[in-house]
Every structure is written in structure tokens, then in C-alpha cells.
Amino acid sequence: MSVAELEFRDAVRDALDEELARDESVVFFGEDVGKPGGVFAVTGGLQERHGDRRVFDTPISELAIAGAAFGAAITGLRPVIEIMFGDFLFLAMDSLANQAAKYWFISEEQASVPLVVRSAVGAGGRFGAIHSQTPVPWFQGIPGLKIVAPSTPRDAKALLKGAIRDDNPVLFLEHKRLYSVKGEPGSSDEVAPLGRAAIVRPGSDLTLVTAMKGVHDALAAAEELATEGIDVEVIDLRTLRPLDRDTVLESVRRTNRLLVVEEGPRTGGWAGGILADVAEDGLEYLDDVWRLTTADAPIPYSPPLEDAFLPSAERIVTSVRKHLNSTPVNSTA
Amino acid sequence: MSGTQRLAAEGPVYELTGDSALLERMLLIRRFEDAVQRLFQRGEVHGTTHLYSGQEAGAVGVCAALAPGDRAAGTYRGHGHALALGVDPQGLMDELLGRASGVCGGRAGSMNVVDLRHGLVGCFGIVGGSIAAATGVALGFQRRGLENVAVAFFGEGTSNQAYFAECLNFAQVLRLPVVFVCENNRYMEFTPIEDVTAGEIPARVEALGLWNRTVDGMDVQAVRAGASEAVAHARSGAGPAFLQTLTYRFVGHSRSDPGAYRKPGELDEMRRRDPLAVERARLIEDGAADEAELDGLEARVAAYIDEVAARALEAPFPDPEAEFQEYKG
Ligand SMILES: Cc1ncc(C[n+]2csc(CCOP(=O)(O)OP(=O)(O)O)c2C)c(N)n1
């Protein structure tokens, strides 16, 4: 038997726990995160172990939480904050976008801003239009900020450690549908570098690029398509800013086809940016290139509406079949 | 425009009359929430829901003080706000079950219901969103010369949001016809309010010079009396009013909340002050109704809500194809 599997939410908690133990300057705060242990049951026990000076509950004040974390970060602390739902990041926007992200640059590097914002994102839980968004594009256009978006427990732990040790602001996104996912734990002192994608399934007919829950959908779709003789390579981006363009381009050079799957609206989404990058630098390798996103609409509540709205393994399979049937496999040598 | 005009509005779907009208409205909310709880446990109401049980006197007392065309903004704990305004219980239940016949066609769900036909500006899923919406609605009323009032419902935890500080000041300097109703149920989600709040909330409001009053939120007559004064103040053009209702929620913040944060004995003590029991006892004491009549009323409301739930379960789901073709974002 292999080692016990690790649950995604426990991986996040373990990373926080171990970083709090390793580095005195790490502090963690947010709404209902201390004594109650967080609304997604991620942070239980941290306050007991590390004390209420380092792990504490805040008022419902997103702007103050983010703003205070920024000020503390330039004063020798390494704050990790929780903004409960990704949708509430909008309330903290000025502090993150105008203050924290730009400080290192405009101060001519007098002080860095070692700050991590953890936030639960993603749809599929019937939470409706204002508790289900994944607002990556809002942040992807902000130089000075990194965006980490893990898909497995092992990555969640290693990347959160990497994020906490990074010297400038990192947005760390946790997809709600992944909290109960279990996986192989990896070694306990693993720290992952930010900005590197991973090929999680090698394949030769199509490069499928995605992140977070999309990776699980993509892998399931790839299994299904394999039975039909279509060999899909799946790339887990893991970090959405900076983007690991090299890994994507290198893959497309081999497969000649690119599909990007994004859980978010088509217009202004991050998938479009990847298509543009590959078109600019790899046009000669491309036989086909497209993306699967949500419609340009807010996320609906009703189950049949939400299910039809979101990318899924089934929608990926249908879409890949359609595209590959119109451009036969291995048309380009 | 003349200063006496009011916005056109539809009357409540579920009509009430007589001395027991407020009790009936509170019963309607309580039985509705019981049904939502049951349907949630059966997997028919999805995602999460925040129930209003225990707080009924707040919305019912405040809405009883409103006039046609007035509007209110509620919260994610909004079923009570909606029903108190006269939103159709069937349409609301259908919405929570994600059906096409829901008040928002199944698009919104529990946390985001809108029904402008009955004065419901929205149930705002963002803490503080109701405050901003009502402030803006009041600006619209004022600048269009309408004699209507806007109400914002929100919890005490919301007093720590930027929206609270910014909008109360904004409304006061512009003398907007808005009533801010702070429903103080002592807890945010799982954190006691006093752990994260400096000073008393009314003191913040006083510092801005707003008319303000605190009432017993477990007593619907006390809430209505306080709200009538607050609404009259706002309608007179004298500026915003602030009403704090001291209340309590009998159930968890949302699904899966065992309520470990409650102080020992507190829930039992507050249940003894159940707003439904308080009003029932008053009606009997005043001789306005007898036990048998009120038992009959309770049975009628319970049967009505059972029917609402049964009909909602039969209602059709929306068709995704049509929905996304129709909507052009
Ligand atoms: C901006 C924002 N932050 C956090 C939340 C999550 N949240 C939902 S309800 C709630 C507590 C609100 O407490 P209070 O204002 O006292 O109202 P109550 O729920 O007690 O009625 C929190 C923190 C939210 N919905 N919006």
C-alpha cells in the first residue's frame, strides 16, 4: 500500500501550518478563519497551535484586511490573508491592485511586499452568480502580482509554500470543487517554484491547456478520447501569472493542435491570451487552435443551467471530436 | 415633478387583513423557512441557504410601515425580506428550487433574488451590497421628486464594511430618503460581533448625526412603531434614519453550522421570546383573537406552505439552450 492520501483542504492547512512553524514572520488572518476554522473547514487548529497573535479573526472588512496585510508586509511580516470567496476580492481591489502590486516597482525596490491572498473560487456548487466566479482576468492584467492555481493536493501544498516564500504579492486560488479531492501527498518539505506548468498527461494529437478543476475534467476527457484513438496531452498551468509559455509552445510543436479550457467568460478571459501567444510565436506549427469557455453571461443558479454553462469532461470530449474530425489526426508530419 | 407622487407598484400577492395580519405574515415566513430547510436536506434547494427563522419581526415590522412604491434591499438572508414585502411565496420557492417559474427564472437562487414588482430591489449576496443599493434607490427617488422611501436591511457585522461608512455619510450629506435597518442577531457567521467590533454601532451613526433608534427585534409591534417613525423621518426630507433591531436567529448561519459559538443557554432563552409567540400572546391578551382562531390560522398557513412546496417540486426546470441564446452579455 502507498502512503495515505492527502485531501486538498488538508494540504492547504498543512502548508500554512508548516510555514507558520518555520518562519516567525508569517501571520494569517481573515473572516472566521481562526476560532471557527474557516467556512470551508480549511484552517481549523491553526489558531490553537500558533496563537491568536499570529492567526486571528477579522471584521467583515475586505479592504482593511488586504490593506493591513500590505502595510504589514512592508514592515517585516509575511501575511497570508483569506478572502473567503473569490467574488469578494473585488472589495479588496484597490489595496491589491493599486498598492501592493505596484509598491516594489515604484519604490525602486526599497521594500518588497511578501503577501499571499488565499481565496476560494469556482462554480459548480449552486452558489449562484456572486459566490462562484474565478476572477483571474481581473488580476492577470496587473504586473507585480502572481497568480497560483493548483489542481492537486500535492501541488496545493508545495505551491502555497512557494507562494509564502515569494517576496511579492501572490494570489493563491483554491477551487471549491477540489477541497475534498484526495491525492498523493508528495514529500513534506517540497516547495514548488511559481511560474512552471506541468505536462500531466503526455499525448501526441492535441495539447489541452487548463488549470484547477479543468485539469480533472481534461484528464477524464483524455481517457475517454484515448478509447477512440485520440491521444491528448494535458498541461496543468499551475500558475496563471507569470504564464509558462515555453511549455505550451514546446507541446504544440509536437501535437500541432491547441485547446485551452477556461472556467470563465470567453470575452476577456485568460484562454484568449494563450491562444494569442501561441499564434504569435508558433503559427507555423498550428493545424487547429480553439478554446472552450463559459458563455458571456453571469453564472446561473439553477442546476441544469449551471451544468450546461460550465466546461466539463463531456463538453471537452464533444468539442475535441468535432474539431479532430474536421482536421484528421496526423495531417501534419 | 410634484413632491407627492409615488412610484407605481403591485400589491402583495399573499393578501393579509385584520388584527392578526402581522402574525400571519411572520407565520408565513417561519413555515416557508421550515420548508426550505426540509427541501435543502432533500437536495431540492441547492448550494447554500441562510434562514430568517427567529428574525421575522424585523422584516414584517419594517415592511408594515412602508407605503406603495417604497422599495427595500435585503440580504442573502432574504426570504423574510422578500415575503414581508409581499413577494409571491410560490415564485420564491420555485426560484429556490431552480425552476423556470421562479421569480428570476432560476437564474438567481436564494442569495440573489430580485423582484422589483413587489419592491424588492434585491437580496444582496455581498455583505454591504444592500446598503449601497438602497442609498442609490433613495437618490433616484429624491432626484425624480418621488415621495418614496428606500430601506436597507443588513446585519450588525456589516457595520464593519466600507459600504457602511461610505453610504451612511453619503446619504446624510445628501439628505436621502433611506432607512438603514441593522438587524443585530449578535453573530456574523460564526464570530460573535463583539470580538471584531469597536464600540457600539449606534454611536457610529450618532457621530454622523443620523436619526437613530434601537428597538426590541423580537416584538413586531415595537419594530413597526420604531420603523413608522424612521420612515416618516426619511419621507419628510429630513434625511436618512437608522433603526437597530435586537434579534436572534434560531438556526445556523447557513447550512452545516452546528452553532458552537453560541453562549450556553442563549438559544433557549431567546426561543422563549419567539416573535411569533410574543405576538400571539398579545392578540389573545388584547381580546383581538382567541386560541381557536389562531390555531386555525396556524393550520391554514402551514397547509398553504405545504401546497407551495408541493407545487414547486412539480414545476419545470429552465431550458439551458433557450436561456443562453436569449441572454446577450
Ligand atoms: C463582502 C462579503 N464578505 C463576506 C461575506 C461572507 N458572509 C456572508 S454572511 C456573513 C456574516 C454577516 O454578518 P451580519 O452582517 O451580522 O449578518 P447576519 O448574517 O448575521 O444576518 C459573511 C461574513 C459576504 N457575503 N460578502
CATH of the domain at A64: 3.40.50.970
Alpha carbon distance B52, A23 (integer Å): 44
Alpha carbon distance B166, B319 (integer Å): 41
Same domain, A113 and A21: yes
Q: Is A131 a catalytic residue?
A: yes
Any domain includes A189? no
> Domain with B284 in it: what CATH number?
3.40.50.970
Same domain, A234 and A280: yes
Residue range B79-101, pLDDT digits in tens: 999 999 999 999 999 999 999 99
Q: Is A284 a catalytic residue?
A: no
User: Which chain B residues touch A59 with a CB distance below 8 Å?
Assistant: 157, 160, 196-197
Cβ(B140)–Cβ(B112) below 8 Å: no
- Domain count within chain A: 2
User: Which chain A residues touch B106 with a CB distance below 8 Å?
Assistant: 300-302, 305
Query: What's the domain range around B187?
Result: 21-254+263-314
Any domain includes A190? no
Catalytic annotation, pick one of A131, A174, A216, A263: A131
DSSP assigned state of B263: P
> Collapsing DSSP states into helix, strand and coil, what is residue B30?
helix
Alpha-carbon distance A265 to nearest alpha carbon in chain B (angstroms): 10
- pLDDT tens, residue order, chain A (333 aa): 467 999 999 999 999 999 999 999 999 999 999 999 999 999 999 999 999 999 999 999 999 999 999 999 999 999 999 999 999 999 999 999 999 999 999 999 999 999 999 999 999 999 999 999 999 999 999 999 999 999 999 999 999 999 999 999 999 999 999 999 999 998 889 999 999 999 999 999 999 999 999 999 999 999 999 999 999 999 999 999 999 999 999 999 999 999 999 999 999 999 999 999 999 999 999 999 999 999 999 999 999 999 999 999 999 999 999 999 876 555 443
Atom 3 of ligand 1, nearest CA residue: B127
- Cβ(A91) to ligand 1 under 6 A? yes
> Domain with A226 in it: what CATH number?
3.40.50.920
**B-side interface with A, Cβ within 8 Å?**
46-48, 98-100, 102, 105-112, 125-128, 157-158, 160-162, 188-191, 195-197, 260-261, 317-321, 323-324, 327, 329
Residue range B114-140, pLDDT digits in tens: 999 999 999 999 999 999 999 999 999
Any domain includes B89? yes
> Collapsing DSSP states into helix, strand and coil, what is residue B324?
helix
- Domain count within chain B: 1
**pTM assigned to the model:** 0.95
Any domain includes A271? yes
Q: Which domain-ending residue is among A131, A149, A183? A: A183
Same domain, A245 and A152: no
Instruction: pLDDT band for B8, please (50, 70, 90 cuts).
Output: confident
Alpha carbon distance B210, B204 (integer Å): 9
From start to end of A86-159, where are the E strands?
116-121, 146-148
Any domain includes A113? yes
Residue range A46-90, pLDDT digits in tens: 999 999 999 999 999 999 999 999 999 999 999 999 999 999 999
Same domain, A36 and A134: yes
Alpha carbon distance A278, A252 (integer Å): 8
Residue range A110-158, pLDDT digits in tens: 999 999 999 999 999 999 999 999 999 999 999 999 999 999 999 999 9
- Look at residues B183, B117, B88 and name the one whose alpha carbon lies nearest to residue B96: B88
Tell whether the torsion through CA atoms of B147, B153, B157 and B163 is positive or negative: negative
Instruction: pLDDT band for B2, please (50, 70, 90 cuts).
Output: very low
Tell whether the torsion through CA atoms of A203, A206, A211 and A212 is positive or negative: negative
Contact A304 B161 (CB under 8 A): no
Any domain includes A188? no
The C-alpha cell of B73 is what? 434591499
Most A-contacting residue of B112, B187, B194, B256 (CB-CB within 10 A), to test interface: B112
Atom 5 of ligand 1, nearest CA residue: B127
Same domain, A178 and A244: no
Any domain includes B12? no
Any domain includes A270? yes
What is the interface pTM, i.e. ipTM, of the complex? 0.94
Same domain, A12 and A159: yes
Any domain includes A192? no
Any domain includes B246? yes
Average pLDDT, chain A: 96
Element (H, E) at A103: helix A101-106
Give chain A's largest Cα–Cα span: 62
Query: What's the domain range around A178?
Result: 6-183
> Collapsing DSSP states into helix, strand and coil, what is residue A311?
coil
Q: Helix A270-282 and helix A245-255: axis angle, to 10°?
A: 60
